[in-house]
A and B are shown apart, each in its own frame.
Chain A
Amino acid sequence: MSFVSTTVTVLSLLLLFHAGYSAYEFSHYLKHLTVNSDATVPLDIIAETIVATALFAFGQVLGAKQLEPVSFAKWAKGLEREGKSPFAFLERRPGYMNVTKLRDEYASAKK
Chain B
Amino acid sequence: MDEKERKQAIYPLSTESLQQNGKTVYYIRSVTSTIFGVSAGILGLESYYGFLFYFGGTAFVSLLMFLLLARGQPTEYFTSAKDIWTGNTLAGLSSFVLTWTLFYGLVDA
**Which residues of chain A have a CB within 8 Å of any CB of chain B?**
16, 19-20, 23-25, 27-28, 30-31, 40-41, 45-46, 49-50, 52-54, 56-58, 60-62, 64-76
Contacts and interface: CB of A to CB of B under 8 A. Distances in A.
A16 B14 contact: no
A57 B59 CA distance: 11
A4 to B, nearest CB: 12
Contacts, number: 110
B32 A20 contact: no
A70 B69 contact: no
B21 A67 contact: yes
Given A28-B109, A54-B60, A75-B16, A64 B77 contact: no
A20 B107 contact: yes
Interface string B18-42: 1011001001100110011011001
Contacts of B52: none
State the majority secondary structure of interface residues on B.
helix
A69 B57 CA distance: 26
B31 to A, nearest CB: 6
19 contacts: A24-B107, A27-B109, A41-B44, A53-B36, A61-B64, A61-B65, A64-B24, A64-B27, A67-B17, A68-B16, A68-B17, A69-B14, A70-B18, A70-B78, A71-B76, A72-B12, A72-B14, A73-B11, A74-B76
